[in-house]
Amino acid sequence: MSTWSKITLWAAAGCLSTVIAGSAAVAAEITVVSTAGPMPEMMGALVPMFERESGHKVTIKFQGAPQTMKELKEGASIDLVIAGDDVIGDLVKNGGTVGGSSKIMLSRVGVAVRAGAPKPDIGSADAFKAALIGAKSVAYSQGASGQHFATVIARLGLVDTLKPKTIIVQGKPVGAAVAAGEAEIGVQQVAELLPVPGIDFVGPLPGDLQKIIVYAAAVPAKAKEPEAATALMQFLSSDAAVPVIKQKGMYPG
Protein backbone atom coordinates (compact mmCIF):
# COMPACT_ATOMS: atom_id res chain seq x y z
CA MET A 1 0.00 0.00 0.00
CA SER A 2 1.38 3.44 -0.93
CA THR A 3 2.15 6.08 1.69
CA TRP A 4 -0.60 8.25 0.21
CA SER A 5 -3.15 5.40 0.46
CA LYS A 6 -2.22 4.89 4.11
CA ILE A 7 -2.63 8.60 4.80
CA THR A 8 -6.05 8.55 3.12
CA LEU A 9 -7.20 5.59 5.22
CA TRP A 10 -5.92 7.18 8.43
CA ALA A 11 -7.71 10.43 7.55
CA ALA A 12 -10.99 8.61 6.89
CA ALA A 13 -10.69 6.73 10.16
CA GLY A 14 -10.03 9.98 11.96
CA CYS A 15 -13.13 11.57 10.40
CA LEU A 16 -15.27 8.63 11.47
CA SER A 17 -13.95 8.74 15.03
CA THR A 18 -14.66 12.45 15.22
CA VAL A 19 -18.22 12.06 13.92
CA ILE A 20 -19.18 9.50 16.54
CA ALA A 21 -17.06 10.75 19.43
CA GLY A 22 -19.05 10.79 22.60
CA SER A 23 -21.95 8.82 21.12
CA ALA A 24 -20.57 5.42 22.07
CA ALA A 25 -20.27 6.01 25.81
CA VAL A 26 -23.38 3.85 26.12
CA ALA A 27 -24.02 1.39 23.29
CA ALA A 28 -27.50 1.73 21.83
CA GLU A 29 -29.69 -0.33 19.52
CA ILE A 30 -30.77 1.91 16.65
CA THR A 31 -33.85 1.08 14.60
CA VAL A 32 -33.63 2.40 11.03
CA VAL A 33 -36.29 2.28 8.35
CA SER A 34 -35.22 3.16 4.81
CA THR A 35 -36.63 3.16 1.32
CA ALA A 36 -35.21 0.40 -0.84
CA GLY A 37 -33.74 1.14 -4.28
CA PRO A 38 -29.95 1.43 -3.90
CA MET A 39 -30.11 1.70 -0.12
CA PRO A 40 -29.74 -2.01 0.83
CA GLU A 41 -26.43 -2.15 -1.04
CA MET A 42 -25.29 1.23 0.28
CA MET A 43 -26.27 0.73 3.91
CA GLY A 44 -24.93 -2.81 3.83
CA ALA A 45 -21.48 -1.29 3.37
CA LEU A 46 -21.81 1.77 5.61
CA VAL A 47 -23.61 0.37 8.66
CA PRO A 48 -20.84 -2.10 9.64
CA MET A 49 -18.33 0.76 9.54
CA PHE A 50 -20.46 2.80 11.92
CA GLU A 51 -21.11 -0.16 14.21
CA ARG A 52 -17.42 -1.05 14.50
CA GLU A 53 -16.38 2.44 15.53
CA SER A 54 -19.39 3.45 17.63
CA GLY A 55 -20.25 0.22 19.42
CA HIS A 56 -23.91 0.82 18.57
CA LYS A 57 -26.04 -1.86 16.94
CA VAL A 58 -28.14 -0.96 13.91
CA THR A 59 -31.27 -2.86 12.88
CA ILE A 60 -32.50 -1.73 9.47
CA LYS A 61 -35.65 -2.46 7.48
CA PHE A 62 -36.31 -1.49 3.86
CA GLN A 63 -39.81 -0.60 2.69
CA GLY A 64 -41.82 2.00 0.82
CA ALA A 65 -42.00 5.50 2.26
CA PRO A 66 -45.84 5.50 2.51
CA GLN A 67 -45.68 2.45 4.78
CA THR A 68 -43.05 4.12 6.94
CA MET A 69 -45.09 7.30 7.29
CA LYS A 70 -48.12 5.21 8.22
CA GLU A 71 -46.16 3.40 10.90
CA LEU A 72 -44.86 6.66 12.34
CA LYS A 73 -48.38 8.06 12.57
CA GLU A 74 -49.42 4.90 14.41
CA GLY A 75 -46.66 5.47 16.97
CA ALA A 76 -44.02 3.04 15.73
CA SER A 77 -40.64 3.27 17.45
CA ILE A 78 -38.21 4.28 14.70
CA ASP A 79 -34.92 6.02 15.46
CA LEU A 80 -33.91 7.07 11.95
CA VAL A 81 -35.82 7.37 8.68
CA ILE A 82 -34.10 7.44 5.28
CA ALA A 83 -36.16 8.38 2.24
CA GLY A 84 -36.46 10.81 -0.64
CA ASP A 85 -35.93 14.43 0.41
CA ASP A 86 -39.55 15.26 -0.42
CA VAL A 87 -40.80 12.67 2.07
CA ILE A 88 -38.33 13.75 4.74
CA GLY A 89 -39.17 17.39 4.04
CA ASP A 90 -42.85 16.75 4.75
CA LEU A 91 -41.93 14.94 7.96
CA VAL A 92 -39.86 17.91 9.14
CA LYS A 93 -42.52 20.41 8.07
CA ASN A 94 -45.15 18.60 10.11
CA GLY A 95 -42.99 18.66 13.24
CA GLY A 96 -42.33 14.95 13.22
CA THR A 97 -38.56 15.10 13.71
CA VAL A 98 -35.87 15.98 16.21
CA GLY A 99 -33.30 18.47 14.96
CA GLY A 100 -34.38 18.70 11.32
CA SER A 101 -32.93 16.55 8.56
CA SER A 102 -29.77 15.90 6.58
CA LYS A 103 -29.27 15.27 2.87
CA ILE A 104 -27.04 12.24 2.80
CA MET A 105 -26.72 10.98 -0.79
CA LEU A 106 -27.38 12.01 -4.39
CA SER A 107 -28.24 9.41 -7.01
CA ARG A 108 -28.33 9.57 -10.81
CA VAL A 109 -30.29 7.52 -13.34
CA GLY A 110 -28.31 5.42 -15.80
CA VAL A 111 -28.41 2.94 -18.65
CA ALA A 112 -27.11 -0.62 -18.93
CA VAL A 113 -26.96 -3.42 -21.50
CA ARG A 114 -26.20 -7.13 -21.26
CA ALA A 115 -22.50 -7.89 -20.70
CA GLY A 116 -20.67 -7.99 -24.01
CA ALA A 117 -23.48 -6.40 -26.01
CA PRO A 118 -22.74 -3.29 -28.09
CA LYS A 119 -23.09 -0.14 -26.02
CA PRO A 120 -25.48 2.35 -27.60
CA ASP A 121 -24.60 6.01 -28.00
CA ILE A 122 -26.39 7.92 -25.24
CA GLY A 123 -24.19 11.00 -25.29
CA SER A 124 -27.02 13.37 -26.18
CA ALA A 125 -30.80 13.47 -26.01
CA ASP A 126 -31.06 12.79 -29.75
CA ALA A 127 -28.61 9.88 -29.55
CA PHE A 128 -30.44 8.39 -26.58
CA LYS A 129 -33.76 8.73 -28.40
CA ALA A 130 -32.32 6.90 -31.41
CA ALA A 131 -30.99 4.15 -29.13
CA LEU A 132 -34.40 3.65 -27.55
CA ILE A 133 -36.10 3.53 -30.94
CA GLY A 134 -33.57 0.99 -32.20
CA ALA A 135 -33.74 -1.26 -29.15
CA LYS A 136 -35.83 -4.42 -29.29
CA SER A 137 -36.91 -3.96 -25.67
CA VAL A 138 -36.48 -1.42 -22.86
CA ALA A 139 -36.84 -2.15 -19.15
CA TYR A 140 -37.33 0.09 -16.15
CA SER A 141 -38.86 -0.10 -12.70
CA GLN A 142 -41.79 1.48 -10.87
CA GLY A 143 -39.46 3.22 -8.41
CA ALA A 144 -38.08 6.75 -8.46
CA SER A 145 -35.91 6.14 -11.53
CA GLY A 146 -38.76 4.49 -13.43
CA GLN A 147 -41.16 7.30 -12.62
CA HIS A 148 -38.61 9.77 -13.97
CA PHE A 149 -37.89 7.68 -17.06
CA ALA A 150 -41.61 7.65 -17.89
CA THR A 151 -41.45 11.45 -18.08
CA VAL A 152 -38.37 11.19 -20.30
CA ILE A 153 -40.21 8.86 -22.67
CA ALA A 154 -43.06 11.36 -22.89
CA ARG A 155 -40.68 14.27 -23.39
CA LEU A 156 -38.96 12.47 -26.26
CA GLY A 157 -42.31 11.68 -27.87
CA LEU A 158 -41.79 7.93 -27.60
CA VAL A 159 -44.80 6.81 -25.55
CA ASP A 160 -46.48 4.99 -28.44
CA THR A 161 -43.20 3.78 -29.93
CA LEU A 162 -41.94 2.16 -26.75
CA LYS A 163 -45.24 0.88 -25.38
CA PRO A 164 -45.16 -2.51 -27.16
CA LYS A 165 -41.55 -3.19 -26.19
CA THR A 166 -41.49 -1.84 -22.64
CA ILE A 167 -40.89 -4.17 -19.70
CA ILE A 168 -41.80 -2.94 -16.23
CA VAL A 169 -39.56 -4.89 -13.86
CA GLN A 170 -40.90 -5.82 -10.44
CA GLY A 171 -39.38 -7.76 -7.57
CA LYS A 172 -35.80 -7.63 -8.85
CA PRO A 173 -33.26 -5.10 -10.18
CA VAL A 174 -33.74 -3.90 -13.74
CA GLY A 175 -30.18 -5.03 -14.37
CA ALA A 176 -31.16 -8.62 -13.56
CA ALA A 177 -33.73 -8.54 -16.36
CA VAL A 178 -31.10 -7.18 -18.74
CA ALA A 179 -28.55 -9.81 -17.68
CA ALA A 180 -31.13 -12.54 -18.31
CA GLY A 181 -31.76 -11.29 -21.82
CA GLU A 182 -35.30 -10.17 -21.03
CA ALA A 183 -34.53 -6.61 -22.16
CA GLU A 184 -31.94 -5.07 -24.43
CA ILE A 185 -31.67 -1.76 -22.57
CA GLY A 186 -32.26 -1.19 -18.86
CA VAL A 187 -32.77 2.13 -17.10
CA GLN A 188 -32.46 2.49 -13.34
CA GLN A 189 -30.47 4.35 -10.70
CA VAL A 190 -26.75 3.97 -11.35
CA ALA A 191 -26.21 2.62 -7.84
CA GLU A 192 -28.78 -0.10 -8.50
CA LEU A 193 -27.21 -1.10 -11.81
CA LEU A 194 -23.55 -1.30 -10.78
CA PRO A 195 -23.80 -4.28 -8.37
CA VAL A 196 -25.65 -6.50 -10.85
CA PRO A 197 -23.50 -9.17 -12.52
CA GLY A 198 -23.91 -9.90 -16.21
CA ILE A 199 -24.45 -6.33 -17.40
CA ASP A 200 -22.31 -3.48 -18.70
CA PHE A 201 -22.99 0.03 -17.46
CA VAL A 202 -23.30 2.40 -20.43
CA GLY A 203 -23.54 5.71 -18.60
CA PRO A 204 -25.87 8.22 -16.98
CA LEU A 205 -28.81 9.76 -18.79
CA PRO A 206 -27.56 12.66 -20.90
CA GLY A 207 -27.89 16.35 -20.17
CA ASP A 208 -31.17 17.66 -18.88
CA LEU A 209 -32.79 14.24 -19.30
CA GLN A 210 -31.01 13.37 -16.07
CA LYS A 211 -32.62 13.55 -12.64
CA ILE A 212 -30.75 13.79 -9.38
CA ILE A 213 -32.59 11.73 -6.77
CA VAL A 214 -31.87 13.10 -3.31
CA TYR A 215 -31.92 10.85 -0.25
CA ALA A 216 -32.24 12.41 3.19
CA ALA A 217 -32.43 11.23 6.79
CA ALA A 218 -34.21 12.45 9.91
CA VAL A 219 -34.69 11.39 13.52
CA PRO A 220 -38.43 10.99 14.29
CA ALA A 221 -39.82 12.88 17.26
CA LYS A 222 -40.63 9.64 19.10
CA ALA A 223 -37.23 8.02 18.59
CA LYS A 224 -36.03 6.01 21.58
CA GLU A 225 -32.34 6.56 20.75
CA PRO A 226 -32.19 10.07 19.28
CA GLU A 227 -28.53 10.73 20.17
CA ALA A 228 -27.22 7.50 18.66
CA ALA A 229 -29.48 7.94 15.62
CA THR A 230 -28.17 11.48 15.16
CA ALA A 231 -24.62 10.12 15.28
CA LEU A 232 -25.50 7.65 12.51
CA MET A 233 -27.13 10.39 10.44
CA GLN A 234 -24.03 12.56 10.82
CA PHE A 235 -21.80 9.66 9.84
CA LEU A 236 -23.78 9.05 6.64
CA SER A 237 -23.04 12.62 5.53
CA SER A 238 -19.45 12.69 6.82
CA ASP A 239 -16.14 12.58 4.95
CA ALA A 240 -15.60 9.06 6.26
CA ALA A 241 -18.58 7.79 4.26
CA VAL A 242 -17.67 9.53 0.99
CA PRO A 243 -15.34 6.86 -0.51
CA VAL A 244 -17.97 4.14 -0.05
CA ILE A 245 -20.78 6.32 -1.36
CA LYS A 246 -18.81 7.10 -4.53
CA GLN A 247 -17.68 3.51 -4.99
CA LYS A 248 -21.32 2.40 -4.92
CA GLY A 249 -22.28 4.87 -7.65
CA MET A 250 -23.73 7.77 -5.66
CA TYR A 251 -22.52 11.14 -4.47
CA PRO A 252 -22.43 12.71 -1.01
CA GLY A 253 -25.34 15.00 -0.19
The verdict on pTM exceeding 0.75 is yes
Q: DSSP character for 197?
A: T
Q: What is the Cα–Cα distance from 204 to 122, expressed in whole angstroms?
A: 8
Q: For each successive 10 residues of the chain (253 residues), what is the average pLDDT? A: 40 48 70 96 97 96 95 94 95 89 97 98 98 98 96 98 97 97 98 97 98 97 96 96 97 93
In sign, the C-alpha dihedral spanning 67, 104, 88, 233 is positive
Identify the CA nearest to 191 among candidates 9, 36, 34, 33: 36
Q: What pLDDT shows up at residue 6? A: 37
Give all domains of the chain, ordered by start, each with its CATH number. 3-106+213-252 (3.40.190.10), 109-209 (3.40.190.10)
Residue 94 pLDDT:
87
Predicted confidence at residue 127, as pLDDT, reads: 98
SS3 for 238? coil
Please name the residues in contact with 213: beta carbons below 8 A apart, sequence gap of 6 or more: 84, 106, 107, 108, 109, 144, 145, 148, 189
Q: Other C-beta atoms within 10 Å of 94: how many?
A: 12
pLDDT at 9: 39
